[in-house]
Chains A and B, each alone.
Chain A
Amino acid sequence: MKLFYALILTFAAALPARSEVEIQSVTSPGGVTAWLVEEHSIPFTALEIRFRGGASLDRPGKRGAVTMMTGLLEEGAADLDARAFSRATEALATTFGFDSSHDEVSVSARFLTENRDASMALLKDALQSPRFDQDALDRVRGQVLSIINSSLKNPGDIANQTFNETIFGGHPYGSSINGTVESVNGLTREDLLQAQGDVLARDRIYVGAVGDITREELGMLLDDLLGDLPETGAPMPPRAEVSIPSGVKVVDFATPQSVALFGHKGIKQDDPDFFAATVLNQVLGGGSFESRLMTEVREKRGLTYGVSSYLVPRDLAETYMGSVSSANDRIAEAISVIRDEWSKAATEGVTEQELQDAKTYITGAYPLRFDGNSTIANILVGMQMIGLPIDYIATRNDRVEAVTLADVKRVAGELLTPDDMLFVVVGQPEGLETTIPEDAPAE
């Protein structure tokens, strides 16, 4: 009975929504560049700032320093201690967010137009004059240690940690950005000042702004906010040598449901085949309910609540990953089905219908992303970080449409290497045992 909707579908699919986002590039008098979307209908602005390098710039033996430094930026600055800083933020109805990841430190701000200057003065203090008071440092250290300890008993975190250690070894990607109990206990105020200087510098900054602000106003704001940051930070870390052993690694953990991560090498974001890979992944495991993995593992066999695959193109290495969770007595079957689907896609590619459905989804879903000032600011800054042109949004769907069935088949053959897959399984899986050499790095 598919015909019932097919008629409407054909008609509707011919008219993808257009996102009307007008991006301006703004360079401040002092030389800071930002991408801006003016949106004056609501009197507030979302500002997103990123510093490339992030937690991968931790110095040797100081793992966790960048993450803790980032967490302390809102815990006291200039003449305000942690509580005074929070009260001042609340009194302006402003929100700040500070976060770190392997590739970047991100700073997010949302402020009412009427409180713009006062909000930016506070943020400037946080970025340039953080206090790193000893009591705040110890308090935040306690929070980080609590997170580290919790992750040691969380099957998903254990899987992630084990996978990264196994494939990235001693590169910063091989360890948690939070550090270890030992490294975090050893961090001093000097280490945090070092991390601040290493990361928060002008030579690695990216800015996106969306909301009730003009280009002139943004230019002045940027100079006030960021102009006095140091010109250069620490050198960027080297690319990661990825060495992925093929096989299974079981981490024994007494819990009813095994959590598995799987993957192999991936593809760079600026690779000409990246869109073909994106379409391929949409069909294989990127879609929500209708991907091949969801159909085979969940819908047909009921082996899991969720299974997915995803391309992970980071700054310093690329992987193609996936995850699944199944009861200990069913995870082996789930993994077997995933292997079969991986092999099938590698040799056969996808069907014409799958290609069309994936393209319609990827192109149709794109405008849906632009749904709020903060979200759009994040997109703007992300585009700059991966070096996309400012008119990219208008051309992106054309690049998706240009992907052919032959492209997907060729890329599937190159990218999907079922014999090279590593499965890390945390739990007490029945019928699975470690098949890769046991030379895992020290805990």
Chain B
Amino acid sequence: MFRLPVLAAVAALCLPPAVAQARDNEAVTAFTLENGMQVVVVEDHRAPVVQQMVWYRAGSADEPKGASGVAHFLEHLLFKATDKMESGEFSSTVAANGGQDNAFTSYDYTAYFQRVAADRLELMMQMESDRMKNIRLTPENIETERDVILEERNQRTENSPGALLNEQVSATQYLNHRYGTPVIGWKHEMQELQLKDTLAFYALYYSPNNAILVVSGDVLPDEVKTLAEKYYGAIPANPDLPERLRTKEPPQIAERRVTYRDARVAQPYISRSYMAPERDSSAQDKAAALTILAEILGGGTTSFLAEKLQFDTQVATYTGAFYSGATLDDTTFGFAVVPAAGVTLEEAEAALDGALAEFMEAGVDPEQLERIKLQIRADQIYARDNADSVANRYGQALAIGLTVEDVQAWPDVLEAVTGEDIMQAARDVFDLRTSVTGMLKKKEAAE
């Protein structure tokens, strides 16, 4: 089985995948500082390495209107000067200590991380806590770094027909919610982002009571606690931190279709997405059923869609299903079909709908369900090999309103899912009125 390059773009339609879940409760310790900053420690003493992550509960979906991209822009600007450090000194200090650092922004959160030798954790905390409140930006920083994010948009989006289709699909999917606006921002709004936009976002959201510290690797919880109290504990909470108010979707009552044509398209494909519930604290069962449903329908060679569209018939070169419940608000359940040579997108769509109808008739194959659950159990063993990915999972979950208990319960919730739960979830979600069908087509010379 080959991974097709178009898939990265299709997969990006849905937020990060989250089938593999770890639970090694003994190695995870959680506590909260007095100023409200949550702390999670994931121990792995096999190598003298540590990773620090700080997650802010602020992402692109929290941006004010007209300033799309400001959350991500600010993420870039946090590598500039603070009261105590010169511009660029943060990363050069990490590098001069043999470490690596970076950051990322999503709809619901912004996170910063460093991987470094375990004995450098204090230095990392000192620097990360410093830039929580003390950045000092100049107009030149804004001018230059805005060019950088515009080039980033060029690289990720403008140069990729699949990414451009994704933007259009998401914008069409969400009628009244910021998940319809790209994380990197609309180009025309990015061009207008100013110093005051970034500082306003920073002042509102960057504070310990809106942040989660996750440390993984060769550390002890007590030592993390002592350091965290010293560096982060000294920063006062922001009493004016607003509730995370998000606009809600109205009932979606009309099926939508989006076609994007581009001369750079070599491999046309279709996508289909439906509105779907996300994981909620203490109510993760629907999301669990949908997680397994995505595996059943589109999880590789043995999946239902591969069976119908790639083996029983040769309609498709690739099929996939995507779902991740790791979001704050309602998310999507998505499909992609890359048609085989000589098959039109319309024929591919009809085959997808035919296969889904067949699945609704046939129900879940108990043997397939058992194989998937076996892999979920095995993934808990494999996940112990990667403390950083466990750490990542906790940080993400806490940033979207889940609790440590929710993360630890997740494998059991997956395990408890029945065939009937899955079919009920499928019946609830596969409602064309909430759907967007996307088509990526070659633009012919005449058009």
Cβ 8 A contact of A257, one of B145, B155, B381: B155
A370 in the interface (beta carbon within 8 A): yes
A347 in the interface (beta carbon within 8 A): no
Q: Are B266 and A153 in contact (CB under 8 A)?
A: yes
Q: Are A295 and B159 in contact (CB under 8 A)?
A: no
Cβ 8 A contact of B144, one of A299, A357, A365: A299
Q: Are A304 and B47 in contact (CB under 8 A)?
A: no
Q: Are B151 and A305 in contact (CB under 8 A)?
A: yes
Q: Are B119 and A12 in contact (CB under 8 A)?
A: yes
CA distance A366 to B264 in the complex (A): 41
B-contacting 9-mer, from A1-9, A193-201, A239-247: A1-9
CA distance A357 to B94 in the complex (A): 10
Considering the complex, which residues of chain A in the window 254-303 have a beta carbon less than 8 Å from any beta carbon of chain B?
A: 254-257, 259, 287-290, 295, 298-303
Question: 29 pairs across A/B with beta carbons < 8 Å?
Answer: A2-B85, A5-B126, A9-B93, A9-B97, A12-B119, A12-B120, A17-B48, A17-B49, A83-B302, A90-B374, A91-B374, A93-B378, A112-B378, A138-B314, A140-B2, A142-B341, A146-B267, A146-B338, A147-B4, A152-B266, A153-B264, A253-B264, A289-B88, A305-B149, A364-B116, A366-B98, A368-B98, A371-B47, A374-B385
A154 in the interface (beta carbon within 8 A): yes
CA distance A154 to B86 in the complex (A): 38
Q: Which residue of chain A lies nearest to B311 when distances are taken between CB atoms in the complex?
A: A83
Considering the complex, which residues of chain A in the window 1-23 have a beta carbon less than 8 Å from any beta carbon of chain B?
A: 1-2, 4-5, 8-9, 12-13, 15-20
Quote the shortest CB–CB distance from A368 to chain B (angstroms): 5
A41 in the interface (beta carbon within 8 A): yes
Q: Are B148 and A147 in contact (CB under 8 A)?
A: no
Considering the complex, which residues of chain A in the window 351-404 have a beta carbon less than 8 Å from any beta carbon of chain B?
A: 357, 360-368, 370-374
B168 in the interface (beta carbon within 8 A): no
Q: Are A150 and B267 in contact (CB under 8 A)?
A: yes
Q: Are A16 and B155 in contact (CB under 8 A)?
A: no
In the complex, chain B residues whose CB is within 8 Å of the CB of A71:
1-2
A442 in the interface (beta carbon within 8 A): no
B232 in the interface (beta carbon within 8 A): no
Number of interface residues of B (CB under 8 A): 82
A429 in the interface (beta carbon within 8 A): no
Q: Which residue of chain A lies nearest to B377 when distances are taken between CB atoms in the complex?
A: A93
Q: Are A304 and B100 in contact (CB under 8 A)?
A: no
Q: Which residues of B contact A (CB under 8 A)?
A: 1-2, 4-6, 46-49, 79, 83-89, 91-93, 95-102, 115-120, 122-123, 126-127, 143-152, 154-155, 158-159, 263-267, 300-302, 307, 310-311, 314, 317-318, 338, 340-341, 371-372, 374-375, 377-379, 381-382, 384-386, 388
Number of interface residues of A (CB under 8 A): 86
CA distance A152 to B266 in the complex (A): 7
Once A9-B96, A42-B385, A367-B47 are accepted as A-B contacts, the answer to whether A288 and B340 lie under 8 Å apart by CB is: no
In the complex, chain A residues whose CB is within 8 Å of the CB of B300:
86
In the complex, chain B residues whose CB is within 8 Å of the CB of A140:
1-2
Cβ 8 A contact of A112, one of B95, B98, B117, B381: B381
Considering the complex, which residues of chain A in the window 285-330 have a beta carbon less than 8 Å from any beta carbon of chain B?
A: 287-290, 295, 298-306, 325-327, 330
Q: Are B382 and A288 in contact (CB under 8 A)?
A: no
A143 in the interface (beta carbon within 8 A): yes
Cβ 8 A contact of B151, one of A142, A150, A326: A326
Given contacts A83-B311, A153-B266, A325-B159, 18 further A-B contacts (CB under 8 A): A12-B120, A42-B382, A87-B371, A90-B371, A112-B381, A140-B2, A143-B4, A150-B266, A153-B264, A155-B159, A257-B159, A289-B92, A290-B91, A299-B144, A325-B151, A361-B98, A362-B98, A367-B49
CA distance A254 to B445 in the complex (A): 13
Q: Are B85 and A1 in contact (CB under 8 A)?
A: yes
Once A17-B118, A150-B4 are accepted as A-B contacts, the answer to whether A305 and B155 lie under 8 Å apart by CB is: yes
CA distance A366 to B151 in the complex (A): 31
In the complex, chain A residues whose CB is within 8 Å of the CB of B47:
19-20, 367, 370-371
In the complex, chain A residues whose CB is within 8 Å of the CB of B96:
9, 13, 357, 360-361
In the complex, chain A residues whose CB is within 8 Å of the CB of B95:
287-290, 357, 360-361
Q: Are A74 and B5 in contact (CB under 8 A)?
A: no
Q: Are B145 and A302 in contact (CB under 8 A)?
A: yes
Among A155, A295, A367, A368, chain B packs the most CB atoms within 10 A around the CB of A368
Cβ 8 A contact of B317, one of A143, A256, A330: A143
In the complex, chain A residues whose CB is within 8 Å of the CB of B123:
5, 8-9, 12
In the complex, chain A residues whose CB is within 8 Å of the CB of B386:
371-372
A63 in the interface (beta carbon within 8 A): no
Q: Which residue of chain B lies nearest to A143 when distances are taken between CB atoms in the complex?
A: B2
Q: Are A290 and B92 in contact (CB under 8 A)?
A: yes
Q: Which residue of chain B lies nearest to A291 when distances are taken between CB atoms in the complex?
A: B95
Quote the shortest CB–CB distance from B121 to chain A (angstroms): 10
A43 in the interface (beta carbon within 8 A): yes
CA distance A254 to B46 in the complex (A): 50
In the complex, chain A residues whose CB is within 8 Å of the CB of B4:
143, 146-147, 150
A38 in the interface (beta carbon within 8 A): no
Q: Are B301 and A368 in contact (CB under 8 A)?
A: no
Quote the shortest CB–CB distance from B353 to chain A (angstroms): 22
In the complex, chain B residues whose CB is within 8 Å of the CB of A325:
151, 154-155, 159
Q: Which residue of chain A lies nearest to B90 when distances are taken between CB atoms in the complex?
A: A289
Cβ 8 A contact of B119, one of A15, A74, A153, A299: A15
In the complex, chain B residues whose CB is within 8 Å of the CB of A287:
95
Quote the shortest CB–CB distance from A299 to chain B (angstroms): 6
Return the CB mask of A74-85 against B: 1 if under 8 Å, else 0.
Answer: 110000001100
Quote the shortest CB–CB distance from B259 to chain A (angstroms): 18
Q: Are B307 and A83 in contact (CB under 8 A)?
A: yes
Quote the shortest CB–CB distance from A334 to chain B (angstroms): 9
Q: Which residue of chain B lies nearest to A94 when distances are taken between CB atoms in the complex?
A: B378
Q: Are A363 and B1 in contact (CB under 8 A)?
A: no
Cβ 8 A contact of B99, one of A19, A87, A144, A365: A365
CA distance A39 to B44 in the complex (A): 13
Once A1-B85, A257-B151 are accepted as A-B contacts, the answer to whether A154 and B5 lie under 8 Å apart by CB is: yes
In the complex, chain A residues whose CB is within 8 Å of the CB of B83:
1
Cβ 8 A contact of B79, one of A17, A150, A289: A289
Q: Are B144 and A301 in contact (CB under 8 A)?
A: yes
Q: Are B264 and A254 in contact (CB under 8 A)?
A: yes
Q: Are B144 and A302 in contact (CB under 8 A)?
A: yes
In the complex, chain A residues whose CB is within 8 Å of the CB of B264:
153, 253-255
Q: Are A5 and B98 in contact (CB under 8 A)?
A: no
Q: Are A302 and B151 in contact (CB under 8 A)?
A: yes
Q: Are A1 and B144 in contact (CB under 8 A)?
A: no
Q: Which residue of chain B lies nearest to A86 when distances are taken between CB atoms in the complex?
A: B301
